[in-house]
Each structure stands twice: as structure tokens, then as C-alpha cells.
């Protein structure tokens, strides 16, 4: 089975990570990210978000505007920092924060979290004009290497955070980093993270071994045999979260070492993945409106390849049939609305986000795929899309016949 995403962790990564865990590198280290600059490392992207919110000095129960259409772990991190998520709708063309909906809600906010989804960039200049003096936090977990004009993701807000979690471009197990141009804020970020205890050698080694095992289970051939069944349960549990507080902990040394190794190949990986995304866009026979077009003036890293179906029934049918043909996919954020409503007070005012959560299917296009994998994905998707298209036509004819019969009687 072709896995839905790419968890890269080689044997060499395991050995260098364990060696780094034993050495326990100094906590005041820096990680250099291509096109971004020197960043403050953190244990994960979610830990970095907690650190950013605390370092900004926001008041207790500060209201943070956040798109509903994003990972619920973001909401959990906001609560862990002592703040409250206030949900903002997204633009269905970019999947990113909608400036029009933000304009209607911004006066009730203390900060704005601009989530760059699927590698697409938010319209940060518009968000900045609407936000006034409110801090803007860029969530670049999926956007490392993306640019708006000449500005890289992470350079447009007050502070930005990145993720190195397995499945992302750097795929280092865990790990994250923070960037800001404000030297005083940078010092506060270091202080927040530095106040947390560093992991012991034993804890770090256990973490590294666990990440390696997870990556083996998430990769071929183990994923097709039994790994994906485990992830059906584990993925749903992680999406819904366990509500435990997220701490702004320092990065595990092994994750930092692996992330630094990955940075060297980042640009080549992005170019390959963009070419794969272009191949799918040109080869799939689905309606063009179902595919996202790159916004003028932006360079997207094409981290994920979303397809918008007309209904959840069509999305589920396509996902199930693709899996039967050996292609795994992501029903992205399928449960986010329920989680947001049950745990974070979502009031039902983000209709586009709700629709996307029910209808978006992500096809695999990661840079480690082989050309024959891409051809297989395209062939299977086109075959199944033709079945869906014929079903649509049959349903319309059947509905028309029923109307004609009713009129005749």
C-alpha cells in the first residue's frame, strides 16, 4: 500500500540521533532553516506555539483568532498557554484564514494565529492591516519553504513557529522551532523554553527509539501489512486529543540532529514535490474546480495535495475505493468540527471550514514517491472519478424521472 504521507527515518538517523541524545547538546543552541534564518528550537510545533503565546505576554484568557480548519492540537496549545481560541472561517480557495471573516471578528481578539495550510500562504499583509497592533503568530508547520513574493513563510508576522514532526518535510520524529525578528521577543522565547527541564539521556533515547519504530510502521512494506490499521485508531485518538496540558519543552537532541540533516535536502525535496503536484494536476480528469490553484505572487511548497469533493459521501467513496486499490489517503480534519464544538466552544459560525472538513481528501504526492506510484495514483483516481461522475448523471436522471412522474400523476 502507498502510505498517505512520508515518515522518513533511516538507520543512520537512528544512530546519529541516539549519539546526540547521549551527548545532550546545550539548550541554548540554534537551528538554521533554509530561507528563514536562525531559529529557537522547541520540543514540537505545539510546544513552540505555547512558548510564543507565553512570550508575547498576553493577558490571561486572551482571545486568539484561529481558523477552524486546522489541527485541533493547535486549539489545545492555545488553551495550554492560558488563552482561548476564537474561531475564524477560511477561504475555500486557499484553505487559509479568510480576511473577510476576520474583519467581522477582529475587534474581539487579542492576537491572530495565521495558519498556512497545505503549504499555501495566508494573506498576511491583509491580516496585518486588519489586526492593527495585535500580534500575528504564523503557523508555518506545513509551510517551510513557501514564499509570498520574496518573503519566506515566518518572516511576515510578529513570531512564527515551524514543525519537524514525522510526516512533515524535515520528518525528524518530533521537534519544532520559533523565529522572530524582534531580539527582545527572541530572548523571552529562549527564557520560556529554557525554564523547562531538559530530557534525560534515558528519556531522549526512549523517544528516539519510539519515533524510529513509528516510522517503520508508517512506511512500506509494514504500513500495508498492518501499520495503517494501527494508525486508524492512533490517528483518531490524536486528532481528538487527550486534553493534557502542552508544555513549552526543549527539543530532544536526537530530533534536532535529524532535522539539521534534513535541512540540507529541503530545496530539492520541495522542487520534486512541486513537480509531482503539477503532474497530478495535469493528469487527473476530475473537475478543475476540485483542485487548488497556486495563488498569484506566491510560491507554495505543495506539502499536501487536497481534492475537494461535492459531499462527504463522494469523498468517503473515493477514499475507500482508493484504499482497496492500495492507495491510502487522508480525510483531512474530518472530526475537527465536533472536537471544536465539544471542547473549545465553537458556535457554528464557520460554514466554509465545516464544508471543507467534510469534503476534502488529500492524495499522496510526497517527494519520496516513485514515478510508477504517481501513475498508479492517477490511474486509480481517474477510474474511480469516472464511476462517481456516472453515478451523478444516473442520480440526476432518476431525480428527473421522479419529478416527471409526479407531474404526470
H or E element, residue 309: none
CATH annotation of 266-408: 3.90.1150.10
Rg (CA), the chain: 22
Among the listed residues 236, 234, 231, the one whose alpha carbon sits nearest the alpha carbon of residue 335: 236
What pLDDT is attached to residue 405?
64
**pLDDT tens digit sequence for 354-390:** 999 999 999 999 999 999 999 999 999 999 999 999 8
How far apart (Å, rounded) are the C-alpha atoms in residues 383 and 366?
Answer: 22
Packing angle of the helix pair 201-217, 253-263 (nearest 10 deg)? 50
pLDDT of 69 higher than 70: yes
User: 1-15, 89-103, 141-155, 220-234: which range is least confident on average?
Assistant: 220-234
Q: Tell me, what's the pLDDT at 177?
A: 98
- CA angle at 125 for the pair 122 and 129, rounded to the nearest 5°: 120
Contact 8, 165 (CB under 8 A): no
pLDDT score at 399:
63
Q: In angstroms, rounded to a whole number, what is the distance separating the alpha carbons of residues 147 and 133?
A: 23
pLDDT at 406: 61
On average, the pLDDT of the chain sits at 93
With cut-offs at 50, 70 and 90, classify the pLDDT of residue 235.
Answer: low
Q: Where are the domains of the chain?
A: 11-263, 266-408
pLDDT higher than 60, residue 168: yes
Please state the separation of Cα 153 from the chain's center in Å: 14
pTM of the model: 0.94
Q: Around Cβ 149, how many Cβ atoms within 10 Å?
A: 11
Res. 227 pLDDT band, cuts 50 70 90: confident
Q: Angle between the 351-359 and 336-344 helix axes, to the nearest 10 degrees?
A: 140
> Residue 29 has what pLDDT?
87
Residue 167 has pLDDT above 70, yes or no: yes
For residue 34, pLDDT beyond 70 = yes
Q: How many CB atoms lie within 10 A of CB 77?
A: 30
Parallel, antiparallel or unpaired: strands 111-115 and 159-163: unpaired
The pLDDT value recorded for residue 243 is 64
pLDDT at position 228, please? Answer: 85
Grid cell, residue 373, equals 506510484
Q: Provide the pLDDT for residue 230.
A: 82
Residue 292 reports pLDDT greater than 70: yes
- pLDDT computed for residue 398 by the predictor: 65
Residue 350 · residue 105 · CB < 8 Å: no
- pLDDT above 90: residue 296: no
3-state secondary structure of 157: coil
The tens digit of pLDDT for each residue in 388-406 reads 998 888 777 666 666 666 6
Residue 111 grid cell: 492576537
Burial class (CB in 10 A: 0-12, 13-18, 19+), 353: buried
If you average pLDDT over residues 280-284, what whole number do you get?
A: 97
Q: In 3D, which of 77, 14, 13, 7 has the Cα closest to residue 45? A: 77
Rounded mean pLDDT, 301-314: 96
Judged by average pLDDT, the poorest of 71-80, 116-125, 170-179, 385-394 is 385-394
Say yes or no to pLDDT of 237 above 60: no
Q: Give CA angle at 283 (279, 289), nearest 5°.
A: 100
List, in sequence order, every beta strand (DSSP E) within 89-246: 111-115, 136-139, 147-148, 151-152, 159-163, 176-179
> Which residues, including other chains, have CB under 8 Å from residue 303's CB and lie 6 or more apart?
118, 119, 142, 143, 168, 169, 273
- Whether the pLDDT of residue 236 is over 70: the answer is no
pLDDT of residue 232: 75
| Residue 43 DSSP symbol | S
Distance of CA 112 to the CA centre of its chain: 18
Q: Distance of alpha carbon 26 from its chain centroid, rounded?
A: 29
pLDDT by residue (tens digit) across 44-64? 999 999 999 999 999 999 999
For 11-263, CATH gives: 3.40.640.10
Check whether 122 has a pLDDT greater than 90. yes
Residue 240: per-residue pLDDT: 53
Amino acid at each position: 500500500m502507498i502510505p498517505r504521507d512520508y515518515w522518513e527515518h533511516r538507520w543512520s538517523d537512528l544512530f546519529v540521533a541516539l549519539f546526540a541524545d547521549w551527548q545532550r547538546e546545550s539548550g541554548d543552541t540554534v537551528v538554521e532553516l533554509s530561507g528563514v534564518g536562525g531559529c529557537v528550537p522547541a520540543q514540537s510545533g505545539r510546544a513552540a506555539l505555547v512558548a510564543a503565546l507565553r512570550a508575547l505576554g498576553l493577558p490571561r484568557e486572551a482571545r486568539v483568532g484561529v481558523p477552524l480548519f486546522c489541527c485541533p492540537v493547535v486549539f489545545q496549545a492555545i488553551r495550554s498557554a492560558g488563552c482561548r481560541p476564537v474561531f475564524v472561517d477560511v477561504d475555500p480557495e486557499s484553505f487559509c484564514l479568510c480576511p473577510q471573516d476576520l474583519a467581522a471578528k477582529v475587534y474581539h481578539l487579542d492576537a491572530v494565529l495565521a495558519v498556512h495550510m497545505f503549504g499555501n500562504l495566508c494573506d498576511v499583509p491583509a491580516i496585518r492591516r486588519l489586526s492593527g497592533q495585535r500580534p500575528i503568530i504564523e503557523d508555518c508547520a506545513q509551510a517551510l519553504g513557501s514564499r509570498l513574493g520574496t518573503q519566506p513563510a515566518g518572516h511576515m508576522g510578529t513570531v512564527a513557529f515551524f514543525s519537524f514532526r514525522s510526516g512533515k518535510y524535515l520528518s525528524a520524529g518530533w521537534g519544532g522551532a520559533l523565529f522572530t525578528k524582534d531580539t527582545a521577543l527572541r530572548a523571552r522565547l529562549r527564557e520560556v523554553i529554557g525554564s523547562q527541564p531538559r530530557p534525560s539521556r534515558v528519556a531522549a533515547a526512549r523517544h528516539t527509539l519510539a519515533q524510529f519504530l513509528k516510522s517503520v510502521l508508517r512506511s512500506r512494506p509494514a504500513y500495508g501489512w498492518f501499520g495503517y490499521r494501527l494508525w486508524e485508531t492512533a490517528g483518531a485518538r490524536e486528532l481528538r486529543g487527550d486534553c493534557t496540558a502542552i508544555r513549552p519543552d526543549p527539543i530532544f537532541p536526537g530530533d534536532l540532529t535529524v532535522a539539521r540533516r534534513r535541512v540540507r535536502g529541503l530545496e530539492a525535496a520541495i522542487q520534486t514535490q512541486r513537480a509531482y503536484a503539477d503532474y497530478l494536476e495535469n493528469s487527473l480528469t476530475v473537475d478543475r474546480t476540485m483542485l487548488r490553484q497556486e495563488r498569484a505572487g506566491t510560491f507554495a511548497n505543495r506539502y499536501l495535495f487536497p481534492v475537494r469533493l461535492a459531499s462527504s459521501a463522494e469523498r468517503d467513496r473515493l477514499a475507500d475505493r482508493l484504499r482497496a486499490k492500495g492507495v491510502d489517503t487522508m480525510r483531512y480534519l474530518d472530526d475537527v468540527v465536533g472536537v471544536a464544538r465539544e471542547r473549545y466552544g465553537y458556535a457554528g459560525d464557520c460554514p466554509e471550514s465545516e464544508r471543507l472538513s467534510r469534503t476534502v481528501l488529500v492524495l499522496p504526492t510526497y517527494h519520496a514517491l516513485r514515478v510508477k506510484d504517481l501513475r498508479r495514483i492517477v490511474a486509480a483516481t481517474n477510474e474511480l472519478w469516472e464511476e462517481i461522475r456516472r453515478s451523478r448523471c444516473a442520480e440526476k436522471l432518476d431525480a428527473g424521472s421522479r419529478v416527471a412522474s409526479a407531474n404526470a400523476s
